[in-house]
Structure 1
Amino acid sequence: MAQTAPSPPQMTIIYSMDALLGDRFSMGRVPTGQERIVIPIVGGTFKGPKMSGKVLDLGADWRLTDANDRRRTYIYVRTIGLPPGADGRTMLRGEFETSTNGTYAWLNDVAAVGVMTRNGTSSVHIDMWQVSI
């Protein structure tokens, strides 16, 4: 049986983000013998075709309903990166978590890849894409 050539997935930009970084610190050696370095994200902005907003300096999914019953959706983003390439850019895998009944609930089921570029030690730029078939 002849096989057809595989079709590559489609890529749609989710957002471009500029994240501000705080002072890095070491948590010391971890059980694997490696050193855990923490680089706090202390703010920034992101913008895409379906979303835009501020980057908060906390790592959690929080939903707030105000006195007028308006909901504020917060999105938890986790990225896992590969070692930087020769050009200094880093490939990322993105995972999202947010309210299941909010405007951005679609993010909970997204397969995402990104590219991070460092801007010295004070900020990074990340372009994140949704991958679909």
Structure 2
Amino acid sequence: MAQMAPTPPDLTLLYSMEALLGDRFSLGPTPNGQERIVIPIVGGTFKGPRLSGNVLNLGADWRLTDANGAIRPDARYNIRTDDGTDIFVQTVGLPPGPDGRTMLRGQFETATDGTYAWLNHVAAVGVLTRNGTHSVTIDMWQATPPRIKE
């Protein structure tokens, strides 16, 4: 059997989000790192080709500064689509790159019998861009196996 060359996954935009952030506070040094900073997520909006709505005032980024001084996002929050569906979102991230943007892995959880049940099975990657201290933009993409070219 011939080995095919690796091909990257296809990416499809899920949404672009502006999340509004509250005042951060520190838990201080923790067993898992140098410091845990809590950044409340207090609102915002998201818009994409298959889902749009609002970011609820329900969640936070429990950002960790690890033992090496690298910042690692760890957020859990809820969004609500324009048609009233609630979706739990969890993102974890790598330390910011040289341009300040952060790569995220996203995971979604929602009702298994609802319009957005497909999100429960999505492999998602995102790019977070900071807009000062009280807002971030997250562009979230669905990764799928590459299309086979004939």
Length-normalised TM-score, structure 1: 0.87
Kindly indicate whether the alpha-carbon contact (under 8 Å) linking 1:61 and 1:97 is maintained by their aligned counterparts in 2.
Answer: no
In 2, the alpha carbon distance for the partners of 1:58 and 1:75 equals 11
Q: Which blocks of at least 5 consecutive residues in structure 2 are unaligned?
A: 60-76, 146-150
Q: Which amino acid aligns with 1:38?
A: V
Q: Which amino acid aligns with 2:19?
A: A
In 2, the alpha carbon distance for the partners of 1:62 and 1:17 equals 10
Number of residue-to-residue matches in the alignment: 126
Matched position secondary structure for 1:106: helix
Q: Which amino acid aligns with 2:120?
A: N
RMSD: 1.9
In 1, the alpha carbon distance for the partners of 2:106 and 2:79 equals 19
What corresponds to 1:24 in structure 2?
24
Larger RCO: 1 or 2 (CA < 8 Å, sep 6+):
1
- Quote the sequence identity (%): 72
Length-normalised TM-score, structure 2: 0.78
Tell me which moved more, 41-50 or 52-61.
Answer: 52-61
Instruction: List structure 1 runs of 4+ shifted beyond 2 angstroms.
Output: 59-63
Cα distance change, pair 83–102 in 1 and its aligned pair in 2 (3 A):
same
